[in-house]
Amino acid sequence: MNTYAYIGPFTELLPMDALSLKGGLREESLKVLHHQGILVKDGTILEIDDHSRLISKAREVGAEITIIDIPVVALPGFIDCHTHICFSGSRAGDYALRNAGSTYLEISKAGGGIWDTVTKTRQASEEELTLGIVARAEKHLAQGVTTMEVKSGYGLQVEEELKMLRAIRNARASLSVDLVSTCLAAHMLPRDFKGSRKEYLEVLGEELLPKIKAEGLSKRVDAFIEEGAFSPSDIIPYFKKARALCFDITVHADQFTTGGSQVAIDYQAISADHLEASTSKEIAALGSSNVVAVALPGASLGLGCGFAPARDLLDAGASLAIASDHNPGSAPMGQLLTQAAILGAMQKLNTAEVFAGITFRAAAALNLHDRGVLAKGKLADLVLFPTSDHREILYHQGSLQPMYTIKRGKVIYP
């Protein structure tokens, strides 16, 4: 059976295909359809129509029909466009140290932070990493996530980075969520590398990226542009190399100090992520660019610092996506819906802006154009909430659990 129908009467269905990719959105611009049904063929949406008309069509084509007879809101499946869920070990010690007064950069300079996770991730086998990814991704799925990005970046040696990317590839076989992998080998200069930052990045560009390409392990390259990691001038030759090899670029930008977002703009990155330190200058530049600005409220909550200026970015005309940044150091929570709702409350983002940030604008941050809206021809990835009012979803800040998460037309949760 490859034809499925979900027949309402859905109380509300939010297709969002009429909403624009860039800038602020109006609360009232959310298109709400009542009493609908969705017909799915081969994983994509064949038809969205009034439920009584749709049920006849579904019978005609012999679809497997699920009647949902309680009030339900259907949204596009959520897209978490920035995570680091391939890792080993815990950084609970860092969290306690930060809350006792140390900063993220101080802990990192003292040998903790990212390097601590690198040490533990190198000790883990590819299979152990795969199991960790699967367990974490399944928790995301329970909150309605149907597509997730996963970065490498805790290997920091050619073979160790490949091990991480292979673990991400292998995890796909055990998951119904789609995983998009990204090479973040430029996360920091590994402490055991005998050479300069420039030399390390040359190794990545000349040895690692061609191997990733040859094995088809990833189409995306990320770098952490930050004090203590890499400067814009360190990264530029590496990004040129990555672009010449046809990788999409994304940047960890303006987290503590500025500089990264301008590199993202100059090198036509798909997205610039973090942006907690962006000032009016960077906000204006991002607003007039096509780079998707990605806010990571989970990192602000994990580090106990301010949120990215999401409201100002939207007002400046930027496309704003929201992601969990799920990682063992700065963002161990990994609850996208909770974090997006909190960012909305703290930054005064309306319902349309928050939902856009975790659906079609997050798809744009991954350069994916086949998902993130409920419309004919798009992937049938949906999340259904047991309520008659879509505003209840953010109001409960993640504690209203999805009734179903649906991937390519099939129920994958519960």
Torsion, Cα 167 173 178 183, to 10 degrees, reads 20
From the list Fe ion, ligand NIG, none, partner contacted by residue 6 (C-beta under 5 to 8 A by kind): none
Of the pair 30, 251, the CB lying nearest ligand NIG is at 251
Q: Could you say whether residue 329 binds ligand NIG (CB under 6 A)?
A: yes
Region 338-357 residues binding ligand NIG, contact defined as CB under 6 A: none
From the list ligand NIG, Fe ion, none, partner contacted by residue 329 (C-beta under 5 to 8 A by kind): ligand NIG
Q: Measured between alpha carbons, how far is residue 235 from residues 45, 102, 165, 259, 295 in Å?
A: 41, 28, 21, 11, 22
Q: Could you say whether residue 255 binds ligand NIG (CB under 6 A)?
A: yes
Interaction pattern, residues 117-156, with ligand NIG; x per rule: CB under 6 A? x---------------------------------------
The single-letter DSSP state of residue 72 is -
From the list Fe ion, ligand NIG, none, partner contacted by residue 117 (C-beta under 5 to 8 A by kind): ligand NIG
Among the listed residues 160, 222, 325, 381, the single contact to ligand NIG using CB under 6 A? 325
From the list ligand NIG, Fe ion, none, partner contacted by residue 330 (C-beta under 5 to 8 A by kind): ligand NIG
Strand partners, 407: 410
Q: Could you say whether residue 224 binds ligand NIG (CB under 6 A)?
A: yes
Closest Cα to residue 34, out of 1, 61, 72? Answer: 72
From the list Fe ion, ligand NIG, none, partner contacted by residue 51 (C-beta under 5 to 8 A by kind): none
Of the pair 114, 185, the CB lying nearest ligand NIG is at 114
Of the pair 4, 95, the CB lying nearest ligand NIG is at 95
Region 68-87 residues binding ligand NIG, contact defined as CB under 6 A: 84
Q: Could you say whether residue 328 binds ligand NIG (CB under 6 A)?
A: yes
Q: Could you say whether residue 252 binds ligand NIG (CB under 6 A)?
A: yes
Closest residue to ligand NIG: CB criterion: 329
* HEC per residue, the chain: CCEEEEEEEECEECCCCCCCCCCCCCHHHCCCECCEEEEEECCEEEEEEEHHHHHHHHHHCCCEEEECCCCCEEEECEEECCCCCCCCCCCHHHHHHHHCCCCHHHHHHCCCCHHHHHHHHHHCCHHHHHHHHHHHHHHHHCCCEEEEEEECCCCCCHHHHHHHHHHHHHHHHHCCCEEEEEEEEECCCCCCCCCCHHHHHHHHHHHHHHHHHHHCCCCEEEEEECCCCECHHHHHHHHHHHHHCCCEEEEEECCCCCCHHHHHHHCCCCEEEECCCCCHHHHHHHHCCCCEEEECHHHHHHHCCCCCCHHHHHHCCCEEEECCCCCCCCCCCCCHHHHHHHHHHHHCCCHHHHHHHCCHHHHHHCCCCCCCCCCCCCECCEEEECCCCCHHHHHCCCCCCCCEEEECCEEEEC
From the list Fe ion, ligand NIG, none, partner contacted by residue 113 (C-beta under 5 to 8 A by kind): ligand NIG
Closest distance to ligand NIG from the beta carbon of 142 (Å): 23
Closest distance to ligand NIG from the beta carbon of 188 (Å): 8
The span of 71-79, 162-170, 305-313, 323-331 binding ligand NIG (CB under 6 A) equals 323-331
The span of 61-69, 197-205, 324-332, 404-412 binding ligand NIG (CB under 6 A) equals 324-332
Of the pair 127, 227, the CB lying nearest ligand NIG is at 227
Of the pair 133, 406, the CB lying nearest ligand NIG is at 133
CA atoms within 13 A on the CB side of 333: 20
From the list Fe ion, ligand NIG, none, partner contacted by residue 347 (C-beta under 5 to 8 A by kind): none
Of the pair 77, 260, the CB lying nearest Fe ion is at 260
Closest Cα to residue 143, out of 285, 287, 347, 335? Answer: 335
Q: Give me the DSSP letters along 386-406.
A: S-S-THHHHHTTT-S--SEEE
Among the listed residues 25, 45, 75, 114, the single contact to ligand NIG using CB under 6 A? 114
Of the pair 7, 79, the CB lying nearest Fe ion is at 79
Closest distance to ligand NIG from the beta carbon of 35 (Å): 42
Of the pair 248, 325, the CB lying nearest Fe ion is at 325
Interaction pattern, residues 365-384, with ligand NIG; x per rule: CB under 6 A? --------------------
Of the pair 43, 190, the CB lying nearest Fe ion is at 190
Interface with ligand NIG (CB under 6 A)? 84, 113-114, 117, 224, 252, 255, 299, 325, 327-331
